Structure 1
Amino acid sequence: MLYWFLKHVLAGPVLRVLFRPWARGVDNLPEAGPAIVVANHLSFMDSVFVPLALPRRVVYLAKDEYFRRPGLRGALVRRFFLATGQLPMDRSGGAGAEASLGMGRKVLEEGGVLGIYPEGTRSPDGRLHRGRTGAARLALATGAPVVPVAVVGTDRLRPAGALLPRLRRVGVIVGEPLHLGGPDPTAAHDRFALRRTTDAVMDEIMRLSGQEYVPSYAAHARARLLTAERPGG
């Protein structure tokens, strides 16, 4: 109910007036049944404009730090994320990450749309970075199609140091669904199949977004930039 209210009554109409978002290929999202929306990640606002563009509800795997913040503000943020259907994603690997993917699989088995950012974090330099294999694992395990999405222009909404977003147009381009095979439990745990599949999805996102691709993880690029910005770095 909160998701519908925010999209259609409260936030959605305001965002459409302020940012005049455009979208192409929205009909490529299947009308029913499970689907994995896999997008590039330029800004926190991506998780606003992608669901705004798509006709179906998107459930995101959000980083679990959002759900563990202390105090009243943390409780409000946690309640908001849960109310809008977002699920905590453990990015530390191991059993925690497997449990997070299990929640995503449940969304797909119930016929829902799951949103994932394969880069794992926002791009620190506007380029498209190497994808992590979680989306491919879910696609191969469940047989759900992967819908590649390119978000355009959200990195220009809030430059570093700015308190308020700039009023610029942003866009969402939805590619044709990729049917990667499955359900195939063997392929879902084959690291070579997962890497091959992930790279194919990233190639499609690159084609849609026009971004330069770099074969390194966004988290590593962010760490290098932070090190370089430190005194003596």
Structure 2
Amino acid sequence: MKLSSPIYQLKHRAKSMAREEGIPLHKAQDRIAQMEGFATWSLLSSKAATSLVTDVLGQVESGDLVLLAARPGHGKTIVGLQALLDARRENRRSFFFTLDMTENEARDRLTDMSNLELAKSIDVETSDEIDADFIIAALAEAAPRTIAVVDYLQLLDACRDKPELAEQIDKLRLFAASKQIVLIFLSQIDRSFDPTQRKMPSLADIRLPNPVPIEAFDRRFYLHDGEMRVEHRAA
């Protein structure tokens, strides 16, 4: 079923409805979802992410360092979480490292998108200490084809006592290749990106307060308005 509008526009409609009618946002989102033919907002979100996740998982290979970038509300978190759920359905171990959500928030979103049993099978890490060394230690015994999503790139060196982002990414790139696992980093797109000038964001639109070698990423996926563009690292 094709949505009447991109999901970020449906989110705006839900927020307006919640404000105008004085109802909780989740109730407004469910009402919007029902207008689109889905019982709940979580089912709508999962459906919207399914085809994009298929494209992502179909193009990445074991050992890849992956960038998944979008403006807020354009689905990068949904696609990242759905990738973890789909990987678990293939009996691949899945990890979610988040510096942006609490564990309860992450678990609730995973459960809404699947079921309690599947959501519980995903390893969720929400420590403030998450950085390259933390991720490497957590994945030290991970089997090949394990998939991990990091939420999100720009927060890895937010604390001054953490190594520079470029140093962390270089360390994680070598680790992913040696372990033959997939590391997916959610990333923000700068607010200066203007969709009236270009349909999709690109490398130049990645918000980077601190320098990072973006060319280190084997695949770079950009999401906008329910569409996706991919770039591959030059050989």
Structure 1 and Structure 2 fold alike (TM over 0.5): no
* TM superposition score category, shorter chain reference: 0.3 to 0.5
Tell me the TM-score normalized by structure 1: 0.39
Tell me the TM-score normalized by structure 2: 0.38
